[in-house]
Structure 1
Amino acid sequence: MQTDIQSPPEVAVEPFPTLIDRSETSKQPRKSKKPGFGILVFLALNRLASSTSTGWGSKRLQKIFETPQRHSIPQKEQQWLKSAKQDWFDHEGHRAAVYTFGQGHKKALLVHGLSGRAGQLSAFADPLLEEGYQVIALDLPAHGNAPGKRISMPAIARLLAAFQKSYGDIDTLIAHSNGAAATTLALSFGMQIEKVIYLAPPEDLKGYLYRLSKLIGFNAKVTRHAEAQLATRYGLPFDAVRGSTLSKNYKLPALIFHDLKDKMVPFEEGERLAKSWQDAVFVRTGGLGHNRILQEPEVIAISREFLRRNSS
């Protein structure tokens, strides 16, 4: 007698939330302070350079565009970094600091943003270790404890691609802000990653250059000249590094978070990137801004679930 074998019922998978709203608990915006003497001199020099010489203004803008601001490293982050195995990675005359935690069978790479540092992503470390990952965090050149004063986004992208080839299989890459933009470009250079998690990712380097230029006092003529000079040095026109263009070719899973009122990177950039990525989950946040998003427990919990659902 033949009996039919019943297949087990399919278990519905809960969709990821589309919004994390912390608006009610977010800090009230600080009252804007009048710029100090140093800032006023800086802005005056930029305006003078713009009006006096396009070449001088362009050279000055390019230097500002590629020079990160260093910030002091909080004690808590310093203690976290001291617990790591520390090393260096050199590429094209630039040096990155490498911090390795744990002995997991899979690797997760943490990449900070412009003027950031490895410790800003430390809240992800313990959850990753618990999921069986070895965690690798970088201080990119000219950031954190790494030497250097000046670095371009394409140079960071090339370094990331070379780092992956040197360190072998990397399952997951978690990147913040400009680190995400550099990762998107590095993937076009052949970097092999199984999945990515982006927090506040920019996708329009040209847009950032023009916003920065206007904010700090350069005119449009100087900005156009700087754009042309940078594109020549990079060997890439700015339109060729648009994240929303590059990501159309990527099939790896992506989880993208962006705050609705991010003052550093417009929300629309993260939204455009997610729409162009073939396999992306996009989660909006409210009240977390550009940096608090890195510490939000629900962001980390959703990231953890994303890794579980996309584990190989």
Structure 2
Amino acid sequence: MQKIQFFIITKSIGLYLNLLSYINVDNAKSKAYRLFTSPRKGKLNAEALPKILQSATRETIEYGNEKIQAYIWKGTSRGASDVGPAKQTGFREANDEVILLVHGWESNASRWKKLLHHLIPLGKTIIALDGPAHGLSGGTEFSTPKYAEFINVIAQRFEPKILIGHSAGGAAISFYLNKYKNPAIEKVILLGAPSDFKIVSNNFVKLLSLNDRVRLKLEDYFIQRFQIGLDDFSGHKFAQNFSQKALIAHDLQDNVVLVDEGRKYANTWKNAVYIETTGLGHSMHDAELYKKIAEFL
């Protein structure tokens, strides 16, 4: 029943935008872009945070007119068996190696709960952020370049050596590495990450059944806003120039981001280990996979 309702709603929105395009195509494009970049879920209530985020030290970073929410689990020299409250001391004191966790679309930093129990014992300092318009971070627009800006702000503040991204978070990491050229990054882990932005764009157009008037206007706007051609807006093409060690994992049953996207990264990233899983879907939550990630680190 929910699938039927979703189908009716999306096609109705698409029909409205298609009709509007014959009256004011720029207005139709603007409304389509707003839909494309506006998450429907993923926000958090500061008064009712998930327990895993309550166990972290929180830091809010002002960025322009927006705020970026970071959660810190300070490292120790010998690690710990449990996730516990972080102390209010300098995050660099205990362990100089920092891991940055970057969640995906319509999610937030709490998605890392299961992985954190495998990372905490490593003794490294762990930072997780809420992406644009997600969690407790500000903003109303979510896009890969915008997310990369957030990563850059966090990276300047916390100086991570390791980046771990899921789904759109992985795509944002590849865009970040391509644009900001941070030589301090030593290792990267991508989980179920999309590569080609054009595929994401085409899927959105198909979902709403948008006509060519709206589609072409929207594609032109992407190029204008992101300053990159759609065919070049591709993580695996960026990865051709990456020198970091990488672990790339993708599931055969991922019906959100197809496994071909992971294979593209694996084929172009020169110093990458590729893991193909079965039965994990898009979430990629799995104790065995997380053990392999801990070993990689």
TM normalised by structure 2 equals 0.85
Which residue is equivalent to 1:97?
Answer: 69
In structure 1, which of residues 21, 46, 49 is the aligned counterpart of residue 17 of structure 2?
A: 49
Aligned residues: 272
Q: What residue number does 2:35 align with?
A: 64
Unpaired segments ≥5 residues, structure 1: 1-31, 308-312
Compare 185-194 and 86-95 and name the one that shifted more. Answer: 86-95
Do the aligned residues in 1 keep the contact of 2:17 with 2:32 (CA within 8 Å)? no
The structure with higher relative contact order (CA 8 Å, sep 6+) is 1
CA shift, 1:196, in A, is: 0.7
2:11, 2:207 within 8 Å by CA — same for their partners in 1? no
Q: Note closer, same or farther for the CA distance 1:142–1:122 as it changes in structure 2 (3 Å cut).
A: same
* Residue 88 (str. 1) matches residue 54 (str. 2): no
Partner secondary structure for residue 4 of structure 2: coil
In the superposition, relative to structure 1, how do residues 128 and 157 fare at CA in structure 2: closer, same or farther (>3 Å)? same
1:34 positional shift: 4.3
RMSD (CA atoms): 2.2
Q: Which residue of 2 aligns with 1:137?
A: 128
| SS class of match (1:98) | strand
Alpha-carbon spacing, 1:151–1:33, altered in 2? closer, same or farther (3 Å): closer
Alignment of 1:8-19 (within 5 A): none
Partner in structure 2 of residue 20 of structure 1:
none
Which structure 2 residue ranges, 5 or more long, are not aligned?
A: 77-94
Instruction: Verify the 8 A CA contact 2:242 2:270 in the aligned structure 1.
Output: yes
SS in structure 1 opposite 2:50? helix
- Corresponding residue for 1:264? 256
Aligned to 1:234, which of 209, 216, 226?
A: 226
Deviation string, structure 1 residues 90-129 (Cα, Å, up to 9, x no partner): 3343322100012341111111011111011122223222
TM-score between both structures, scaled by the size of structure 1: 0.81
Shift of 1:44: 1.3
Q: Which of these residues, 258, 282, 288, is aligned with residue 280 of structure 2?
A: 288
Letter in 2 for 1:137: A
> SS of 1:298's equivalent?
helix
* Residues in 2 aligned to 1:34 and 1:103: alpha-carbon distance in whole angstroms: 44
One-letter identity of the residue aligned with 1:45: I
Post-superposition Cα deviations, 1:216-258, rounded to whole Å, max 9, x if no partner, equal 2212331221011121012222233211111000011110110
From the superposition, tell whether residues 195 and 81 of structure 1 become closer, same or farther in structure 2 (CA, over 3 Å). Answer: same
Q: In 2, are the aligned partners of 1:161 and 1:190 still within 8 Å (CA)?
A: no
Shift of 1:80: 0.9
| Identical-residue share of aligned pairs (%) | 28
Tell me how far apart the structure 1 counterparts of residues 232 and 9 of structure 2 sit (CA, whole Å): 35
Equivalent position of 2:4 in the other structure? 35
Q: How does 1:196-275 map to 2 (within 5 A)?
A: 196-275=188-267
